[in-house]
Every structure is written in structure tokens, then in C-alpha cells.
Structure 1
Amino acid sequence: MAPMPWMASAVAQDVYPSRPIRIVVQYPPGGVTDVAARLVGDILNRKYGQPVIIENRPGASGVIGQQYVAGLPADGYTLITGGLGGNVIPPVTVRNLPLDVVKSFVPIAQVAEFVNVLVVSSNYPANSVKDLIARAKAAKAPLSYGTNGLGSSAHLTSELFGSTTGVALMHAPYKGSSEALIDTANGNLDFCFSNLPPLVPLLKAGKLKALAVTSPYRTKQLPDVPTMAEAGVADFAVTSWLGIYGPSKMPAALVAQLGRDIAEGLAQPDMMARIEAAGFEPRPQDAPAFLATNQSELARWDKIAQQSQVALEFGK
């Protein structure tokens, strides 16, 4: 018996995806999150043959985009970027967020990690992490450092450095990481922790020098720069990461499918090369692995935030 037309239509509607997919980026175009979204967009387009639209909805430190996606149908046709800075740090540092980020989204796939680097001015009288610590203890004065704002991952990373090494610190929050890097390069700050991609031009120009990377592994982009452990600071490993999320009520089978397809696509040689060219470390994860990463990172950074006594009010 041949299927009736309405039966064929119903089957067709069950095939995902049957129309374009959107990936919302909650920051302006051109940043690292935007780059990650476009990589995933290319993977999904290649896999499914459907257009993938990248839609930037910046504002309120990413909350505008998050609120938008959280209120949409959980059908897999609108996804959102996220990571350490948007899905882990705010829930443990900011009071009165307009939405519960953890409960509003389900982790689908990790795209990549990017290394944080401890840098000082090229003229700074320290050529290693040990030199920096010794200088601080000899001077008996706090080391100054800059970040892209109170409660940022750079802020918590710096405070973790201080508590781990026993060095007193003085925080200088800026509106953006570029301002903090410029003041570090000009010698107005003792040090700065920064993601690798925006550092590359300043390192190549000789305006900054890298003392250590915070990841547990050396990075191909800076092969001669030691890890914090190699530099003598034990129990200090921090990496930033980016991934793809969906509204929390997405069907589990669809989350698993997307996570698997994105992770497999990211593991292809051409995508691995693009990830590295963008300054990232290729570390794809499917949905179960990415969920575990989110859970472990939330527990870890909650503890760090409490130890650092970082508690902020949303919008202030």
C-alpha cells in the first residue's frame, strides 16, 4: 500500500533540518565568539545542506542575546554561542541576572579552547613567573593588573594567581581587554592575563612578553612559553572555551545529534587548521562531554568566586 500524501508530508516534517538554522552570537561581529559561530555554521551547512544564518545580538554583556534565544521554541532551529565567560562566570559572580543561564540552555558541543597568557611589558624587569613573584615579595607592595571588568574570567584568573602564589594584588578594571593590554604594554600595570588571539599583534610587535600560559599544555602559537606548572606554579590551570548551546527543552536526541555532528565536523583536518589559524586550540566535545565540562567548571569557578569574594549586581 502506497503512503498517502499526508503521511509523506508528516515524515518530511520530522526530518531535521528542513529549513535554515540560526546561530545567535550575543556579541558584536568580529570577536572570537563570532569566529567560532561561523566555523560551526560552515560545518552544519556542509552536513545538512541547509543555510546557516549567523545573527549578532549584542548587549548587556551577552544577556540580550541569551534572553532572546531562551524565549524561542526549542526545536533546534535557533542555537546560541556560549562559553566560560557567558555561561559559567556570570552565574557564580552576578546577582539578579534576568535569567537563569544554567537552567535556560543545554550544552550541545564545545568548539575550541583558547589559552590565557600571563604577559608583562617588554621592558618589565621580570623574565619569568618566578621573577615576577620574587619582585612582588621583595617590594612588599601589591602587583597591579588590568582586566576587562569586575567579575570577568580575567579578574578571577588573576585573583586565583594571587591566592595560589601568596602575592598581594591591586585590580584595575577596564571597559575592554584592549585597554588593559595597552596599559600593560606601556608599563602602567605590572601584568595582565589575556586570551591569546588579541595578544598576538602585541607580542609580534615586541610590546609585550609572555611569561606563561595558563593551560596544562603548551600552545602551538607560543611553543617556547612554559605552562604555569612548568614555571613553578602548581595547581594552576585555566583555559577559556567556547561552544554551542540550545534552549534547555530541546529534545535529547536532537541535542545528541547536533553535538555529534558538530564535534565530528570540527575534527576534520580543514576545520582543525581553521581553528588553529584563528588562535584557538582544537578541543571539540560532543554533548555529553560538553555537559560534563560545564558542570565541573561551574563547581570550580563558584569556589574561586567565593574565595575571591567577588559578588556583583547585574547592570551596575
Structure 2
Amino acid sequence: MSQEAFDISRSLRDNIERVVLGKPDIVQLLVTSLLAGEHVLLEDVPGVGKTLAAKALAQSIQGSFSRLQFTPDLLPSDITGSMLYRSDTREFEFSPGPIFANVILADEINRAPPRTQSALLEAMSEGRVSIDGTTHPLPKPFIVVATQNPFEFEGTYSLPESQLDRFLLRTSIGYPARDIEREVLRSHRMGEPVDQLQAVAPVDRILAAQAMVRNVRFDDSLADYLLDIVEATRAHDGFQVGVSTRGALSFYRGCQARAITESRDFVTPDDIKALAVPSLSHRVLPEGIFQGASRVAVETQLSDLLQQIPVPV
């Protein structure tokens, strides 16, 4: 395993932690998603740093960044782009939308109607968009950092399970500790520190690190441990639907990426245990009508389930 992947991971984490203060676990999850080549959903109340974290990740990469503010009147073409008629050539020409960027901040993603969600789903799952029968590939690397407020329901649309399944991780940031919040007040007196961040990772190095993730060793006993967790969600009385095979594969890839962020070329049980809840909580359907809205309840059930499964020695 090349040292380059370890170095790029450490550089990204150090750079992001300059502005995302007191949240090393969140920063590690963001870098893990990037190295795995998958997407992340930040679900929390407004004002705790969801947008800041996404911008810090984007600023750390020498690539392009787009912010999509989702609203009920947002159209698919507002995201993907459209065909425009040029009077000089008398031909239609494709005008790319903001989705054509390396890092996408999908702010308040649950405010977009289902038709717009479908356009984003294709981009997230296939890495491309289709306009008038023509397929247009998206730039690489490509990562969507989506945010949503779990406590606001008016004017929102629940994300379909098929779209939730495209997110590698779902997590919340939470309120900072008092001393960290005091430091936030001090550091923001003269403006936004995230605007001063310098890129530390060229796109080609990110792509090389993503390729190295697939070479991280995953012992057969640990693969069985991962599958034990997945199968337990399918048999659990508290879940109507367990984790799918696609979810298991995403979980597997996330563990490989997390190993890189820990400067290892092999997966350990700690990688699996650390990613189990953020990787699987949005991929299970809990019993009961009202329980589905409670992320905390699902995460608690998963944590309890994890304690019951023997860890390989």
C-alpha cells in the first residue's frame, strides 16, 4: 500500500479540522466517504456546522464545488442542466447544470419534490445524467454532501429508500462543547475561516487514493463478521426490512476507506464497529409507523444489536 493514500487522508483531515472545530469523528467520516467514492447525509438542526463541513471538504480539494439550495419549486433541469438553442449555429447545445462539480452540497435535500430527487438519484448512483436521451458523465471524484433538518416537516418530502441507500453514511454533527464554541466565536470575529482554507489535495491524488482503497486487506473472518451484522438486521424483530446486499457492499467499502484514514492497509474490527451505525441506520426500516422518523431510536437499536454479535479474535 502506497504511503501516498495515508498522506492525502491525513492532509485532508488536518486541513478540515482547522475550521470544523472539536468534531474529529465527523471530519473522519467525511474523508472516509470521499476516499470510498460515496456520499454522506448530515442530518441535524440548523446552525451546527453542516454547511461549513461540506464547504471545508470542498475547499480542501483542488476541484470544483457547487451548492444546491433545494426548494419545492426546484426542477430537474435546475440541477442537471438543459439543451439551449444557439441562434448563431441554429443548433441545440447542452448547458451543464451545477451538478457537474466534484463536491456537491445538497442543502436541505428533503425540500425537493420527487421528480427532482429522481434526477439527483441518477447522478448519485451512476455518476452521470441523461438529458434528452444523451448521457453526460460527471467529473471525478464526485461526492454529494447532503443536509436535512429532521425536525422540520412542513414543505418537505421524505427521501425514498432507494435514494437513502446511495448514501454511504448518515450522521449528525451535534452541538459543540463550551470551550470549542468559545473558540468558534473568537475565530469568526473577522469573517469566515473556511474561505481562507487552501486546497491540499489535487484531484488526481484523490482518484489515486480511491483506487488504493480497493486494495485494503479485508480478512475473511472480518467479512463474515460484517455479514453477521447485516444478516442480524434482517432477522431483528424491530426492523421490517434489513440491510440490502448493496448496503453490505457499501459498508464493506467504507470500512476499507476508514482503514486508510487510520494509516492502515488492513481492516480491523474497530473499523466495522465504528461504521456500523452511520452506515446502516438509514438502510433499515423500523417497525411501526412513527418510529421511522426517529433516527436516534434506530441507532440505539443498531448499537444494542452490535453488542450481541461476537467479534472475531
Which structure has more RCO (C-alpha within 8 Å, separation ≥ 6)?
A: 1
TM range (shorter): under 0.3
> Normalized per residue, which structure has more strand?
1
TM-score (norm 2): 0.26
TM-score (norm 1): 0.26
